[in-house]
Amino acid sequence: MGFLEYAPAPESRSILSLKESYGLFIDGEFVDGSGDPFTTISPATEERIAEIAAGSAADVDRAVAAARRAYDTTWSRMRGSDRGKYLFRIARLVQERARELAVAESLDNGKPIREARDVDVPLVAAWFFYYAGWADKLEWAGLGPAPRALGVAAQIIPWNFPLLMLAWKLAPALAAGNTVVLKPAETTPLSALLFAEILQQADLPAGVVNIVTGAGDTGAALVRHPGVDKVAFTGSTAVGREIARTVAGTGKKVTLELGGKAANIVFDDAPIDQAIEGIVQGIFFNQGHVCCAGSRLLVQENVHDEVVERLKQRVSTLRLGDPLDKNTDIGAINSREQLDRIRELSDLGEREGGVRWTAECEIPQNGFWFAPTIFTNVSTSSTIAREEVFGPVLSVLTFRTPAEAVAKANNTPYGLSAGIWSEKGSKVLAIADQLRAGVVWSNTFNKFDPASPFGGYKESGYGREGGRHGLAGYLAPSKPTVAAISGTVEKTDRKGAKK
Amino acid sequence: MTRLSVPKTYKLFIGGKFPRSESGRTVEVRSADGSFLANASLASRKDARDAVVAARAATAGWAGTTAYNRGQVLYRVAELLEGRREQFAAEIAASEGVSREAAEAQVDAAVDAWVWYAGWCDKYAQVAGNANPVAGPYFNISVPEPTGVVAVLAPQDSSLLGLVSVLAPALVAGNTVVLVASSRHPLSAISLAEVLATSDVPAGVVNVLTGRATEIGPWLAAHADVNAIDLAGAEGADWVDLEIAAAQTLKRVLQPQDGVPALSLERVVAFTETKTVWHTKSTA
């Protein structure tokens, strides 16, 4: 066994006791869906995990009705402190069942168990814990003395962080006093359905949270539903546009967390060791299935060769394989469809003049896999430098001056995130000011915290999730308290004498 | 013998200059009692595009000024507007057909609105932003920044206060604006542009188009270099189409409302983006 070889250390699946099939979670109970059920598979093996009910428009209707009933009769009348206690309960139950949730997430999504265990699930608990405390403090949220809940929130979440995105959506909505109908992604419904069991254990009143699984048409029915007051969506910019069009003129409040093409800027005075780790973390975390991934590496020209060389060395040590193995760094691509897209864009990158380098690693027989890939000699006009790949593919570009770095970083219709690597604080702050992105990480990357707002500029969407700002998406502010200044008043000259 | 008056030619205001519409079109503006007031420019799609180019060019400079400086510039607008109170009152009275007293009250309210919003420039970030206590060794702060270029359809029924109530809040954070004046009462908007042109407001920060909101609105709503649109003065059912057009570029949209918007910090924050910056803390 060589220096960098490890014996397999698989996490046991025995902690999971999965059902053969899962229904929709409506009004506090699992019920059959009226659409054609679908199968959720492990992307690492293509093995069937369970059969999942598909929600039809009629099911969506039932779920929205249940949420409305719960809003009217229970949740909107409950004291904030009691809503908070339910959320605290949920946070604790997530911690108690953390291992089980991590295994389920890794199995269904394909992400390394190390990440599900150390990042996703702990953040889920943290998110509920953070917003639990807001539930009885809404008058301090900066929205006036008596902000009001919106009503029923429709929430549609993606497959890259299934349970974490559920937490990002549910926790602030419930803390603010809304009830919810949530649709998990078609390829990753499992953890949301286990989470529904946690809601039952927490004794959350029926109908406060309803989970309707299904594909895009289920989501579309939910967005269109006239009984919905709020739409929150995380996913592609294309679908985000469609949602913005659908809700136009309805007065529904909308939060959209969409695509990104983040620049990760490395200056020649950067701490190179940390920068290399940060670049790897930025693009290869979660197989690059991250909307804020640092997919465009902008390196100052004089350190380009050194950075790229060391990056390749480091990426060569990443272990790709069984997501449930605790030593695995790179798991499976979430679906065949996504794998096809990554392949297509990478091939295009090559045809457009990019120089492709791929880490040598053994690709398992079954499942969907894509080895970590770095493109050098990429120009700003290359497709892989412009379009979101949503996979473990890094494009490397260069710059000479800070002004050029900023211009290239901002040269995208997206504006979700960015990274800056430099030991010089004044430079970091000046660059951070000029980047048109909602989250800027300096000398770090892909850090998340429930207290920290997250969301994009431009076509990366609007609204923020996380922190105090994340509450605003689920509350209507009190009416402005400023008195009209147009009334007739006595006029005075500049010394205060009456005119 | 009475003196023959010298009437003003009302033109557009784009990039700090007062051009006529490139289309050569004008629209007759009449007073409430039907007498001729002026031929206002009837702005075209090309004028709207020129205005967006001017506004985009001005974003870096205006957003880059200090908040203290922006506050003083907006306060300067109030000062100069106060000095031209008589002119604006006469213009409002003629166009809206209201009493002289009501017209003067509208000018006063407009001046006071500039003062109120001027004071927000160096404060709104303290109210809308905050430090975030994240669980790790990081400095983490969220601050609001200007969205960029904001298109504004001014309220239709109010000639001066309406447009000031939507223009001033958009400027507070450092956005630049393409404003479409009230189709019914366009003249005060151009007179206000004369005030802006002499108030240290940099060229291109405010651009004023007169004409039909129904004609220019769709171009601005669909324009890829406009970041946000305020539909305050988009009346009737057609504003839904504007919102649909705005969805293509995921613009921030403020929906129409009746009458003149009240003073509000919300209108300032509506045209901002929250940026959250993380920085590692380490003694190494």
Q: Do the domain assignments include residue B3?
A: no
Q: Are B278 and A126 an interchain contact pair (Cβ–Cβ within 8 Å)?
A: no
Beta-ladder partners of A394: A374
Nearest by CB to residue B277, choosing from A256, A436, A440, is A440
CB contact A447 to B (< 8 Å): yes
Contact A451 B106 (CB under 8 A): no
Distance from CA of B16 to the nearest CA of A (A): 25
The angle at the Cα of B52, spanning B229 to A380, to the nearest 5 degrees, equals 100
- d(CA A87, nearest CA chain B) in Å: 19
- Give the separation between CA A408 and CA A301, rounded to whole angstroms: 13
User: Is B210 in CB contact (< 8 Å) with chain A?
Assistant: no
Q: Which residue has the tokens 């794998």?
A: A339
Q: What is the model's pLDDT at position A498?
A: 54
pLDDT at position B238 is 82
pLDDT digits (tens, 9 = 90+) for A320-353: 999 999 999 999 999 999 999 999 999 999 999 9
pLDDT value at residue A5: 75
* Residue B14 resides in a domain: no
Q: Is A488 exposed, middle or buried (0-12, 13-18, 19+ CB in 10 A)?
A: exposed
Alpha helices (H) along B65-99: 67-83, 85-96
Catalytic pick among A11, A291, A388, A459: A291
Summary mean pLDDT of chain A: 95
pLDDT tens-digit readout, A70-103: 999 999 999 999 999 999 999 999 999 999 999 9
- Is pLDDT of B178 > 90? yes
Residues 99-128 on A with a CB inside 8 Å of B are 126
Q: What percent of chain B has pLDDT over 70?
A: 99
Q: What is the CATH number of the domain that holds B79?
A: 3.40.605.10
Q: Within a 10 A sphere around the Cβ of A18, how many other Cβ atoms?
A: 15
Is residue B97 included in any domain, yes or no? yes
Note whether A94 and A125 are within 8 A (CB).
yes
Number of domains in chain B: 1
pLDDT tens digits for range A359-389: 999 999 999 999 999 999 999 999 999 999 9
Q: Which of residues 397-426 of A touch B (CB under 8 A)?
A: 413, 415, 425
Rounded to two decimals, what is the model's pTM?
0.95
The verdict on A336 touching B (C-beta cutoff 8 Å) is no
Residue B8 counted as domain residue: no
Q: Is the pLDDT of residue A495 over 50?
A: yes
* Contact between B262 and A482 using a beta-carbon 8 Å cutoff: yes
d(CA A469, CA A451): 9
pLDDT digits (tens, 9 = 90+) for A197-208: 999 999 999 999
Per-residue pLDDT band at A483 (split at 50, 70, 90): very low
Question: B274 and A464: CB-CB below 8 Å?
Answer: yes
Residue B54 lies in a domain: yes
- From the list B243, B262, B265, the residue facing A248 with the nearest CB is B243
Residue type, B28: E
Q: Is the pLDDT of residue B110 over 70?
A: yes
| Res A250 pLDDT > 70 | yes
Selecting from B112, B227, B273 the residue whose C-beta is nearest the C-beta of A438 gives: B273
SS3 A10: strand
For residue B7, is it within any domain?
no
Question: Regarding beta strands A38-41 and A48-52, do their DSSP bridges make them parallel or antiparallel, or are they unpaired?
Answer: antiparallel
Q: Kindly determine whether residue B277 and residue A241, on different chains, have CB atoms separated by under 8 Å.
A: no
Kindly name the residue from A257, A388, A459, A465 that is annotated as catalytic. Answer: A257
Residue A480 pLDDT: 55
Q: Name the E strands within A184-252.
A: 209-211, 230-234
The mean pLDDT of B258-265, rounded to a whole number, is 91
Domain ranges, residue B130: 26-280
Interface test with B, best of A239, A454, A457, A492 (most B CBs within 10 A): A457
- Any A CB within 8 A of B266 CB: yes
Q: What pLDDT, in 10s, does the model give residues B43-53?
A: 999 999 999 99
E strands within A303-438?
Answer: 355-358, 373-376, 393-399, 417-421
| Angle, helices B161-172/B67-83, rounded to nearest 10 degrees | 160
Instruction: With respect to residue B240, please indicate whether it lies within any of the assigned structural domains.
Output: yes
The answer to whether B23 faces chain A, any CB pair under 8 Å, is no
Q: What percent of chain A has pLDDT over 90?
A: 94
The token pair that represents A15 in the structure block: 């902690």
Q: Is residue B9 part of a domain?
A: no
Q: What is the pLDDT of residue A286?
A: 98
Nearest to B250 among A462, A467, A477 (CB): A462
Residue A487 has pLDDT above 50, yes or no: no
Q: Is B281's Cβ below 8 Å from some Cβ in A?
A: no
3-state SS of A123-172? HHHHHHHHHHCCCCCHHHCCCCCCCEECCEEEEECCCCCHHHHHHHHHHH
